[in-house]
A and B are shown apart, each in its own frame.
Chain A
Amino acid sequence: MKSRTIHLLGLAVVTAMVVAACDIDAGDSTPSTGAAADTTEAAPDTTEPMEEPTTSAGGGEGGDLSGNIVVSGSSTVEPITARVGEAFDGANPGVATSVEGPGTGDGFARFCAGETDISDASRPISEEEIATCEGAGVEYVELHIATDGLTVMTNPANEAVTCLAYSDLYALLGPESEGFASWSDANELAGELGAPNAPYPEEPLVITAPGEESGTYDSFVELVIADISEERLGEDNDFTRADYNASANDNVIVQGITENPTSLGWVGFAFFEENQAALKAIEVDSGDSGCVAPTTESIASFEYPLSRPLFIYVKTNDVASRPDLTAFVDFYLSDDGLAFVSEAGYVQIPGEDIEATRAAWEDAKG
C-alpha cells in the first residue's frame, strides 16, 4: 500500500529536521565541523577545561590567553565595559568575554554568589551586599573608573522650571509627595521645606524615571532624598514616591519626558547627551554652590552636585591564577581602556583619581 512509502517519507523528514538542526548547531562551532566526534571533550565535568588558563602572559596583552570572563551589573556602566571587552577581544581571541547589564543590584547578587568575575556598578556596594559577599567568601576590589552626572530633566517646552534645589526635588519626588498630580500640589510641602524655587506652575506633573532595581535610582535617592527624608520621617524612609512611570529602559524614560510638556525625570548623563535636542536638563542646586548645569566639566570636577562615581568590582579570590582576568583589568585601566569612558558618553576621571585606581588594582593583584 501507499501508506508504507508515506510512513517512510515522514520518518525521513523528521530525521532530516533533527539532523539539520544538529548541523546548524555544529555550524555554530567555529573550529570543528564534525564536532560530535571530539572525544577529548566528552568528560562529564564541563567546567574544568575553562578554569585552567593555558599560558600566563604576565600583565600584558598576550594574545594567546584563554579563559572565560563574565561581567554583569549596571546598565549604566555596561556600554563602557562592552567597548573595553570588544577591544580586548580583538587582541585576545582565546578569551571568551560576556558583558551584561541587568542593573547594579542584580549584578551584585550574581557577583556575591560567585557567578561573575567583574560587577559593573553605578553606586558603591551596599552594606547588605558586602555581607552577602563575605558570607559567600567572595573577595573583591573596588575600582573607580568614570564619573556620571544624574541629569534631572524636563521637556524643552517647560520654560517655567530652570533650576531645582534638593528640597524642591524632595517636594516633587520624595516619599511625601505621593499623589501630587500637578506641580503646584507640591507648593505646601515646598513651603515647609523652605524650597527656593517654589511656587511651581499649575501644570500636570508627569514623572518618568528609573525603577528601584536601578543604580541610577539608588544614587538619586541617596544624593537627593535620603538626608531630607531621614530628618523628616526618620530612618528607613529613603525612597521616592511610588506613583510614577518606572522603567528599566532609559529610552522609555527619555520618551516619557519628550512626550509630555511638563514632565519630570532623571537619567544618566550619557542618555541625556544622546538626546539633548529633545530634552532640557534642569540645573541642580545643592544649597552651597548655586544652580549648576550638568556638563562634562562640571561633572568631572564634582561641581555638579549629582555627580556620581562609576565603579567596576573585580573578584580577587583567584586573581593570581587568572591571567585572562588580570590582563582584562590591566587593559581596562590603561589609557586606551579608559578612553572608552568618553566614547560611551561618560566623563573621564582626573589624573590623580586614575593613579589611585591603578594603585588600588596593583595592590589587589599583589
Chain B
Amino acid sequence: MTTGTAAITTTELVRRSIEGRRFSPVNALIAFTLLFTLLSSVVILVTLLVDTIAAALPVFATRGFSFITSSLSPRAEAAGIWQGIMGSLALTGFVIAVAFPLGVAAAVYLEEYAPDNRLTRFLNANIRNLAGVPSIVYGILGLFLFVEVFMRGMLGASEGIAGRNVVAGGLTLAVLVLPIMIITTSEALRAVPSGLREASLAVGATRWETIRHHVLPVAVPAILTGSVLTIARAFGESAPLLLAGAQLSLFFTVASDSSFYDLMLTQPYTALPIIVFNFARQPQAEFVALTAASIVVLLVMLLSVNAAAVLARDRYERRYR
C-alpha cells in the first residue's frame, strides 16, 4: 500500500518535473535575485548616462561643434578638446602599430609552436599576471623605461618637454595592453578546432602553412574583436599617461612650424581622458558642464570603436561560411 503510493508519487513527480510547471520557491527566489542584480546594474548605468548627457547638453547646445574643434583654454567659454582627440588618436595609432603585431605574434608562438614545458607554463602564468597589474604601475614603467631611459638617455631629449612625448605615451599604453592582446588572441587560436590543423598537417602542409591558411583565417574574427576591445581600453586610460607625461594642462600649444617628427618627439600632447580629469578639478561651474561634454565625446568615440569591432566580426564570420 505505502510502497504503491510512493511509487505513483515518484512517477508522478518525475512526469511533472519533465512536463509540468512546478513552482519551486528557491528557484523563483534565485531567478528574482539574478534579475534584480541585472536591473540594478542597468539602472546605475542609465542614471550615469542620463546624468552626464543632461549636464553635457547645454554645452553642445551653445557651443555646438566648436567645443570639439577648439583648443584647450583656461577660459571655459573658449575651451575645447581638439588636442585631446588628436592626442588620443595618435596614442591609439601607436598601440595598434606596436601591441597588435607583437601580441598576435606572441600568441601564435605560444599556442602553435611552443612546446608544453615548464618555461611555456611559466610564461603563460606571467602574461596572465601582467594583464592584472594596475595601469598606474605601467605608468611608472613608462616614465622610467620610455621617458627616462629611452627618450632622455638614448635620444638625449632633455630640453622642452624632456622626452614626455606622444611616442613614450603610446609605447606605455602598448605595453599596458600587450598582455591582454596576447591572452585574447590565444583564446581565439585555441577555439580553432584541432581537427583543422590535423587535417592540414595530414596532407603534408608545414606548420606555418597550416597556421597561415587554416588557423589564422578561422581565428581572425575573434582576434579582431578582442584586439579592438583591447585598443578601446587603451583609448580610455588616463592614469599611466599622467605619469608618462601627457599634459595635465589648461593651455598648451605646439609650435606652428612643427613637422610630424616634432609633434611625435619634441612637442607636448594630451589625451581625452586626461582632459576629462583636468576639467573636473577646475573651480568654475562652467567646467563641470565641459567635463560632462568631454565624457560624452569620449563615450561616443569608444562606442564607435566597439561598434566597428562588432561589424568587423560579423563580416568575417559571414565570409568564412
Contact = CB atoms under 8 A, between A and B. Distances in A.
Given A29-B263, A50-B255, 14 more contacts: A3-B213, A5-B319, A21-B93, A24-B86, A29-B258, A38-B260, A46-B155, A68-B255, A79-B74, A96-B252, A99-B251, A101-B250, A252-B281, A274-B283
A1 B213 contact: yes
A82 B250 contact: yes
Interface in A247-305: 248-252, 254, 270-271, 274-275
21 contacts: A1-B213, A2-B319, A3-B213, A3-B217, A6-B316, A10-B220, A13-B312, A14-B101, A25-B90, A25-B263, A75-B281, A89-B253, A93-B253, A96-B268, A97-B253, A115-B162, A249-B280, A251-B282, A252-B281, A274-B284, A344-B74
Contacts of A126: none
A99 B256 CA distance: 17
A159 to B, nearest CB: 25
A4 B216 CA distance: 10
Given A47-B266, A97-B253, A274-B285, A41 B160 contact: no
Nearest 8 pairs of A and B residues by beta carbon: A35-B260, A21-B93, A98-B252, A82-B74, A82-B251, A6-B217, A68-B160, A96-B255
Interface residues of A, number: 74
Contacts of A29: 258-260, 263
B248 A101 contact: yes
A28 interface: yes
Interface in B244-281: 247-268, 280-281
Interface in A222-261: 248-252, 254
B282 A47 contact: no
A41 B283 CA distance: 41
A363 to B, nearest CB: 26
Contacts of B254: 30, 96
Contacts of A4: 213
Nearest to B200: A3
Interface in B7-28: none
A7 B100 CA distance: 16
B250 A38 contact: no
B182 interface: no
A109 interface: no
A337 interface: no
A341 to B, nearest CB: 13
Contact of A28 (B252, B263, B316): B263
A27 interface: yes
Contacts of A13: 224, 312
A274 B242 CA distance: 27
Interface of B: 73-75, 86-87, 89-90, 92-94, 96-97, 100-101, 155-162, 212-214, 216-217, 220, 224, 247-268, 280-285, 312, 316, 319-320
B93 A49 contact: no
A249 B162 CA distance: 26
B160 to A, nearest CB: 4
A160 interface: no
A205 B101 CA distance: 56
A191 interface: no
Contacts of B155: 44-46
B96 A18 contact: yes
Interface in A92-126: 93-102, 114-115
A324 to B, nearest CB: 10
Interface of A: 1-7, 9-10, 13-14, 17-18, 20-22, 24-32, 35-36, 38, 40-42, 44-47, 49-51, 66-68, 70, 75, 78-79, 82-83, 85-86, 89, 93-102, 114-115, 248-252, 254, 270-271, 274-275, 344-345
A89 B78 CA distance: 14
B95 to A, nearest CB: 8
A85 B159 contact: no
Given A31-B256, A96-B258, A250-B281, A6 B250 contact: no
Nearest to A250: B283
A47 B159 contact: yes
Given A25-B93, A79-B74, A274-B285, A31 B258 contact: yes
B162 A86 contact: no
A249 B247 CA distance: 17
A42 B217 contact: no
B74 A26 contact: no
A41 B281 CA distance: 38
- Of B89, B248, B253, B282, which is in contact with the most chain A CB atoms at under 10 Å from its CB? B253
B96 A17 contact: yes
A93 B220 CA distance: 47
B213 A94 contact: no
Nearest to A68: B160
A98 B250 CA distance: 9
A46 B281 contact: no
Contacts of B266: 46-47, 49-50, 68
Contact of A98 (B90, B247, B282): B247
A5 B316 CA distance: 11
Nearest to B161: A70
A41 B259 contact: yes
B161 A98 contact: yes
Given A2-B320, A96-B258, A21 B92 contact: yes
Given A96-B268, A102-B248, A271-B283, A45 B259 contact: no
